[in-house]
Amino acid sequence: MLNRRNQPFRSRIGGAKVIALLAIGTAVCGSAGYAWWQSKGSGLYAGAESEPMLHEVVSGPFDHIVLEQGEIESSKNNEVKCEVKGRGTSGTPILNVVLEGTLVKKGDKLCQLDSSALDQEAKNQRIIVSSAESTVISSEALVSKAAIAKQEYLEGTYQTERNAILSEIAVAQQGLRRAELSLQSAERLAAKGTLKALQIEAEQFAVQDAQRKLDSSDQRMKVLDRLTKEKMLVQLNSDIETAAAKLASDKNTLSEEKEKLEEIRNQIIACAVLAPADGQVVYANKFSGRGGGDFVVEPGALVREQQTIFLLPDPSKMQVKAKVNESRITLIREGLPVKINVDAIGGAANELLGRVTKVNKYAEPGSWMGTSAKEYAVFVQIMDPPPSIRTGMTAAARIFVEQIPDAIQVPVHAVYESKNHHFVLIKDGDGWKTSEIKLGGTNEKFVTVLSGVDEKDMVALDPRSHVSKMNIPDIPEVDDREKLAKIASEAPAAAKTSEMKQGGGKPGSAGRPDSGGPPNPDAIAGTIFSSLDTNSDGKLTKDEVASNERMAGAFSEYDTNKDGSIDRAELTAVMRKRMAAGGGGGGGGSARGAPSN
């Protein structure tokens, strides 16, 4: 039973082994066959090398062009931005959006932003406005109350008190008059001898008492008119002004709260993004190339305040934005003619005419995955753009840098380059000759030749495949170190000239206390670097200063930033510090710091 159960499984294993062996055998046979074919093929062509394909050198009109790919866009776009103010760091979500490419009219809705937070804010703000209105009403009542209190005092309380005092004055005057008459009568009777002196004295006291009462009433009248009234008016006017100030403040608060409510309502309205003009909807998507700053217009996407959401391009003003490599950007200038090919439209309308309108002075931001080569944006205006082209289409821009009416030219593939020298292989009777040429302008097919070939010469189109027929002269290697060494050898002489100027015209006087002029640490540092900086990288390492005992011993002092090397600024700074302290340049003298020339 066990063997029967395992039999199908073993059969499958056996079948798999057979298939694997067949596959291995096929591969081995195929490899052997390919190796045999390669050996036969190699032997077939090894015996007789094929002849190069030839091309006749011609002279004629030549267009020096720069060919770049670009993207069609409008030079005049109606940007539709988010007018909803930011209420946080995230932005406002998009609820729904019109499809890209839709033709819209002015006033059509393009997208709806989420206004739920604004709706709640508007509800809360309406309550605040109602409370502010109630406060204003109360303040207005206080102002009216204060004004009525003043009127009440002037027309009521004050007049009542004044009339009462006037009444007292009248009574006092009447009493004084009666006392005076009584005194006069008593004096007449006393003259006749009918009244005693004591009765006359009593009448005199009555007159004095009546006079005091009258004076008291007059004084109360003066106090009321001059002091009490003024005091009450100050208090009442203060109450009125205080109430009026509070009313003005409450009204301002109410006005601000109403403005805030109106702003929230406008923000709610702004959540419905409308088209400012007729056009075709283009999403303002952005891709940073790093994966963290992308923005794609779609439901749920967050939009920041004043962020562009849509573009409504003007179809009558179209352009091509092309990125030109830094090696060719110096050839491009404004006004150059351009031929534009748009594969998407095809037919006779495929080729359009244009001109360069702008060349950016700064490189385009590069992607973190890109190369170190910089690219610069060039904008090409399309003359009479057809209605069939659309924003975002790819276009090939052929920028005509130079148009030569008559130039000797050869195909690009016929040029062989070696160590920055250019050669062509020319058919010479039954043999071949190699000629060095000097290149002029170039395009995607031909290059102009300033010297080295003549019209009607027959040149090989594939010289790289026939190097054995070429006689490339021995070109010495260009060693930049020789140029740098020459520059370094000239540096001490320049430093000495500077030293002579600083030291009163005496060679070698700079840096010496008896030179008659101040030491020149810059010149000494230049001399030291020209002598010790063997690789001309602008820095001195421990290996480079090892031959100079004084510099090697003070290396750590000169290496102020502790990066393992000394640049010229560090050396000059330490030398200045030493010279200021009276300790000399330290390594700058001709005997030990640098060779004397």
The pLDDT value recorded for residue 289 is: 56
pLDDT-derived band of residue 88, with 50, 70 and 90 as boundaries? low
Q: What is the CATH number of the domain that holds 258?
A: 1.10.287
Residue with tokens 């190369």: 371
Is there a single domain that holds both residue 191 and residue 287?
A: no
Residue scoring higher pLDDT (14 or 580): 580
CA-to-CA distance for 26 and 32, rounded, in angstroms? Answer: 10
CA-to-CA distance for 125 and 263, rounded, in angstroms? Answer: 11
Is there a single domain that holds both residue 517 and residue 500?
A: yes
pLDDT in tens, 405-437: 889 999 998 999 888 899 999 988 888 999 999
The pLDDT value recorded for residue 501 is: 41
Average pLDDT of the segment spanning 41-60: 67
Is there a single domain that holds both residue 238 and residue 128?
A: yes
The pLDDT value recorded for residue 359 is: 94
- The region of weakest confidence among 183-192, 285-294, 395-404, 550-559 is 285-294
Q: What is the DSSP letter of 574?
A: H
Asked if 587 and 519 touch (Cβ cutoff 8 Å), the reply is: no
241 in any annotated domain: yes
pLDDT at 257 exceeding the cut of 60: yes
Q: What is the CATH number of the domain that holds 544?
A: 1.10.238.10
Is there a single domain that holds both residue 135 and residue 257?
A: yes
- The region of weakest confidence among 39-53, 78-92, 441-455, 566-580 is 39-53
CA-to-CA distance for 511 and 514, rounded, in angstroms? Answer: 9
The pLDDT value recorded for residue 1 is: 36
Tokens of 164: 């009462």
Is there a single domain that holds both residue 125 and residue 102?
A: no
pLDDT in tens, 204-254: 899 999 999 999 999 999 999 999 999 999 999 999 999 999 999 999 999
Which of 342, 363, 398 marks a domain boundary?
398
Average pLDDT, the chain: 80
pLDDT in tens, 334-365: 999 999 999 888 765 578 999 999 999 998 88
CA-to-CA distance for 474 and 451, rounded, in angstroms? Answer: 20
pLDDT at 467 exceeding the cut of 70: yes
pLDDT-derived band of residue 480, with 50, 70 and 90 as boundaries? low
CA-to-CA distance for 149 and 141, rounded, in angstroms? Answer: 12
For the chain, the domain total comes to 3
Is there a single domain that holds both residue 106 and residue 125?
A: no
Residue-range definition of the domain harbouring residue 334? 75-114+281-398
The pLDDT value recorded for residue 557 is: 84
Which of 342, 371, 398 marks a domain boundary?
398
pLDDT at 290 exceeding the cut of 50: yes
419 in any annotated domain: no
pLDDT-derived band of residue 297, with 50, 70 and 90 as boundaries? very high
**Helix axis angle, 521-532 relative to 568-580, nearest 10°?**
140
Which burial class, exposed, middle or buried, applies to 24 when counting CB atoms under 10 A from its CB (0-12, 13-18, 19+)? exposed
109 in any annotated domain: yes
β-strand partners of 93: 302
How distant, in Å, are the alpha carbons of 247, 537, 540, 560 from that of 530?
83, 11, 10, 21
The pLDDT value recorded for residue 187 is: 85
195 in any annotated domain: yes
Average pLDDT of the segment spanning 281-305: 82
Four-residue CA torsion sign, 363, 364, 366, 371: negative
